Amino acid sequence: MIRLFTSLFLLVVFAEASSCSSSPASRELPLRVRWIRDPETLDPLTQPNENARQGVNLLYQSLLTVDYEQQRFVPLLAESMPSVRHQGARTLITYRLRDSARWDDGQPVLARDVEFTLKVMNCPDLPNEEVRAQFGFITALQPDPLDSRRFTLVCEGAAPELVLASGDFPILPAHYLDPQNKLGAVPLAALQQDSLALRHYPDVAPFVQRYKAAQIGQHPDALPGSGPYRLASWKTGQQLEFRRKPRWWGQALQQTAPQLQARPEQIEFHVIPDDATALLAMRRADVDLYPRMPAREFGRLQADSARHPELSFYTAPSYDMTVAGFNTRSSLLAHRLTRQAISHLFDVPQLIQATQQGHAYRSVGLINPENKAFYNDSLRPFAFDPTEASRLLVRAGWQRTATGWERQRPGQSPQRLALRLSYRAGEPTYEAIGLQLRAAAAQLGIPITLHPTESSVLSGRLRAGEYDLYLRSMTGNPFVYNFAPILHTESIGSGNFTRFGTPDSDRLIKSITTEQNPQRKARLLRRLQALLQAECPLTVLYFNRYQIVAASRLANLQISGLPPGYNVMAITSRPDDSH
Amino acid sequence: MTRARRWGAGLALTWLLLLLAVALTVPYLPLAFSPDTVDLTNIAMPPQVSQFSHPGHLLGTDPYGRDVLTALLYGTRTALLVSLPAALLAALAGISSGSSAGFWGNSGLRVKTGWLVAAGAAVLFTLAALPCYWGSYRMLYLLAIPTGFFMVGGILLQVKRLSAPVPIPLDSLLQACITLVSSIPRLVLVLALAAVVEPSLPTLVLVLALSSWVGTARLVRAEVARVRQLPYLEAARAAGIPELRLLVRHVLPNALRPVKTSFPLSIAGLIGLETTLSFLGVGLPPEVPSWGRTLALVRLTPTAWWLVVFPVLLILLTTLALQQLASRPRG
């Protein structure tokens, strides 16, 4: 009996000791990343902000992805880069999906899923305006009758970037969202072109209702994804936690396909809207990664880096730009010369110095100046010139009076030039720009009131056109030149906040999307930059530089100028500091 | 009153009069910079010695390049423009509601049912329809609501059952309102209200007044209820003095002593609340200079001590002065 008790006691002690020693050793610390705002939704169709895109990419996968280190597209769900054929004005892009690609429930990812996703992206009555404009060039999917994983996308146009763009949307599980294959009978072209598709195809409306009722945006955990992570918890406005799936199809391929890596076991995104609070959290090691730290804080922290050996500092030139947009349908700003005049009131060099510590760079438009082939270097950015602004206002029909600027309108009372500038609340850079513009405009006699607005309210107001001027960030990339979602008339009410669009600009934007020849494309892009500067629906103030601070224990961040500036799935802990 | 107390009261009054003078005359003061001036070449500069030929930033600049001295002087005007009207409005609302409830109680005020129904209908109509049509038919509404009230009330009074007077439970209604407002923390209530309405000076004044009338109402109600029992009122009633006159001429003058004491404290509280709201970036538009907003900018440049010291000094001295004024013995 004593022996039995002794054995049991030893067993318990041994088990306890082994659990104490092995439990922390086997578990990695979660990777804690600062997010400036809540993603609002994780619906792959909407993705209203960059955080939503980042979250969606952890749950779902697209055919191609970006290799952050090489800054090029590489296959993700696709087995290899697609083969491309041209057929008149069309491009035929053939993909084959990886044999091992699986949904969480073990079902294979097939061509049917891609076709289904394209149809959902074009389905009427779903919140898909932006993706519809962005991927409207894909007009059909031809499945391979012999291989359920092979298919060909028929794309309008022949531009080389169509190939990359054709693989850059997250794929949804058809077998789960449409088990009876109701959308299968509806041609993609019908959804794209037929404004009465809901009436002509009675199966579409019940599907739309089911999709909306599923509330994928708020409950993505209910939907099987092909990505390496699942959403473990979401406290709106506070924190999102993603956990790596214990068994994921990509694990076996990580040696040969580094783009399939998913290193952190657990990723926590901490929503901290205020920069000062986020800085404090970084200093107190409450977060491990602070992407895009404001230049002033970054400079101060870096200068003090001797006292912070636990922090590492990274920078990269980015494709992020700070933009001032005009409501071109507002009667005050309908004339392009009025918009040009206001653009002359931004003192951009001083703002770059004051808000970005001189680390940003100017541009004449939406093309990054680093891209020498496409950048229109014959144009000059708007200079800070109140005298020129006055001259332009007079040319636009405004008259200087004792109380400000007025314009006579036939049969109506005189119109007074007074503007409202909207921007995201709590963003010091926008506040600095707003105050500078307000001061310069006040000297000229134009009253401008500042309207810092909560992020989601601002998005709604911009979409509805309830503003005069706005400040926001926009993100470009070096791969695709499709300006339809932000400048085409079809995107008014969704991504085209400025509500700009002329037949000429619409044609030009479409031509750029479809142009294949690099020289001709460069000419078209230069023309677009000139047109945008003349029409001035928006003014690019400057391109930013990414400043990223991370805990020194983190390695392999794959810092780049592409948003979000790092590859969260590649990050590892240094062996010595992992606990 | 002791000599020290007299000195304290004198200093407090001098400081408050100085603030008032600054608030009234600040646009005419010979300041080197206007509140709109943004000097991007001198952002977050520490205090500089000013020279006659080359004016400097005496109290430094904020992270947007604005002169701190100018911002604080104009902030004085903002503090007064916000706190004084808000305190007056709150006092007015508190005195009128508290005195009515204390004087008439639950059964003292009797109104004909017809008028009550008409008033209820007018309130419901206003709440339901006004937000939708206010912009287009403003004048029409302003005329239609009182006209409708009198017409409907007049018609209803013709019905025999609706012409009988019924008591209005003023005291219970006020107690319920006070409990409702007091159950929500003041800052939370103000933040919620400020988030709903567009930021501007009048809306902030209204929001602050809405959250601050409760204390005064409670004080006045208790005091009026006490005075109501005094024998001289019985005599006045016996002499046939109308009720309203009784309340205004004979009760209120004897019941307002606590309000006179609490009024400066209420201003101090409102200055503190406005500063807190500005610190949190809620309430006033960002271009309006305010002590709290200047103080809040230290979050952008934590080493800028001048963004803390000067606004805090102003807030501290003003609050102390108002408290000194409130604690001054009367009579």
pLDDT at A147 over 80: yes
Pick from A275, A350, A428: CB nearest B41: A350
Query: From CA B304, how far away is CA B167, in angstroms rounded?
Result: 62
pLDDT at A273 over 70: yes
Q: Which value does ipTM take for this structure?
A: 0.74
Instruction: Sort residue A107 into left (φ over 0), alpha (ψ -120 to 50) or beta.
Output: beta
Reported as a single tens digit per residue, the pLDDT across B107-166 is 878 888 878 888 888 888 777 776 665 555 666 677 777 788 888 878 877 777 777 778
Reported as a single tens digit per residue, the pLDDT across A362-396 is 999 999 998 888 999 999 999 999 999 999 999 99
pLDDT for res A578: 43
Query: From CA A289, how far away is CA A313, in angstroms rounded?
Result: 10
pLDDT for res A22: 40
Query: What sign does the CA torsion over A166, A65, A460, B300 have?
Result: negative
Average pLDDT over residues A263-292: 92
Question: How far away is chain B from the Cα of A560, in angstroms, using its nearest Cα?
Answer: 26
Question: How far away is chain A from the Cα of B187, in angstroms, using its nearest Cα?
Answer: 19
Mean of the per-residue pLDDT values of chain B: 84
Contacts for A14-22: CB closer than 8 Å, 24+ residues apart: none
pLDDT for res A14: 46
A436 touching B (Cβ < 8 Å):
yes
Closest-approach residue (CA) in chain A for B197 = A453
Judged by average pLDDT, the poorest of A93-107, B122-136, B148-162, B170-184 is B122-136
Query: From CA A498, how far away is CA A509, in angstroms rounded?
Result: 15
Query: Are B219 and B258 in contact, with CB atoms under 8 Å apart?
Result: yes
Query: From CA A99, how far away is CA A111, in angstroms rounded?
Result: 12
pLDDT at B221 over 50: yes
Task: Kindly list the structural domains of chain A, giving each domain's residue range(s) and its CATH number in brackets, ordered by start.
Answer: 38-222 (3.90.76.10), 229-317+545-573 (3.40.190.10), 321-543 (3.10.105.10)
pLDDT for res B76: 94
Average pLDDT over residues A170-192: 89
Confidence class of residue A551 from pLDDT cuts 50, 70 and 90? very high
Residue with the larger pLDDT of the pair A266 and A295? A266
Question: How far away is chain A from the Cα of B34, in angstroms, using its nearest Cα?
Answer: 10
pLDDT at A72 over 70: yes
pLDDT for res B138: 64
pLDDT at A24 over 50: no
Query: From CA A33, how far away is CA A268, in angstroms rounded?
Result: 6
φ/ψ of A447, rounded to 5, equals: -75, 130
pLDDT for res A18: 44
Q: pLDDT over 70 for what percent of chain A? A: 94
Tell me the DSSP string of B265-293. HHHHHHHHHHHHHHHTT-SS-TTS--HHH
Q: Closest by alpha carbon to B65, among B36, B32, B30, B27?
A: B36
In Å, what is the CA distance from A42 to each residue of A7, A51, A351?
54, 9, 35
pLDDT for res A13: 46
Query: Are A260 and A250 in contact, with CB atoms under 8 Å apart?
Result: yes
Contact yes or no for A435 and B281 at CB 8 A = no
Reported as a single tens digit per residue, the pLDDT across A485-496 is 899 998 888 889
Confidence class of residue A21 from pLDDT cuts 50, 70 and 90? very low
pLDDT for res A164: 87
Q: Which amino acid is at B290?
A: S
Spatial CB neighbours of A64, under 8 Å, sequence gap ≥ 6: A73, A74, A75, A76, A78, A81, A164, A167, A168
Mean of the per-residue pLDDT values of chain A: 88
pLDDT at A11 over 70: no
pLDDT for res A20: 42
Count of residues in chain A? 579
pLDDT for res A397: 92
pLDDT for res A82: 95
Residue spans of the domains in chain B: they are 3-106+169-230+256-326, 110-167
pLDDT at A480 over 50: yes
Reported as a single tens digit per residue, the pLDDT across A319-338 is 889 999 999 999 999 999 99
Query: From CA A165, how far away is CA A138, in angstroms rounded?
Result: 10
B286 touching A (Cβ < 8 Å):
yes
Q: Closest by alpha carbon to A498, among A477, A474, A482?
A: A474
Judged by average pLDDT, the poorest of A340-349, A386-395, A557-566 is A557-566
Residue with the larger pLDDT of the pair A227 and A513? A227
- A210: tokens are 């089911």
Reported as a single tens digit per residue, the pLDDT across B222-280 is 999 888 888 888 888 888 888 888 888 888 888 888 888 888 888 988 888 888 888 87
Considering the four listed CATH numbers 1.10.1760, 1.10.3720, 1.10.287, 3.40.50, the one that applies to the domain covering B3-106+169-230+256-326 is 1.10.3720
Question: How far away is chain A from the Cα of B308, in angstroms, using its nearest Cα?
Answer: 16
Q: pLDDT over 90 for what percent of chain A? A: 55
Average pLDDT over residues A151-180: 88
Residue with the larger pLDDT of the pair A160 and A544? A544
SS3 of A257-323: CHHHCCCCCEEEEEECCCHHHHHHHHHCCCCCEECCCCHHHHHHHHHCHHHCCCEEEEEEEEEEEEE
pLDDT for res A579: 40
Query: Are B56 and B50 in contact, with CB atoms under 8 Å apart?
Result: yes
Query: From CA A391, how far away is CA A338, in angstroms rounded?
Result: 10
Query: Are B319 and B16 in contact, with CB atoms under 8 Å apart?
Result: no
Query: From CA A480, how far away is CA A465, in angstroms rounded?
Result: 27
Taking a contact as any Cβ pair under 8 Å apart, which residues of chain A between 486 and 545 contact chain B? Answer: none
* Interface test mutation site (partner B, options A420, A431, A433, A451, max chain B beta carbons within 10 A): A431
B66 touching A (Cβ < 8 Å):
yes
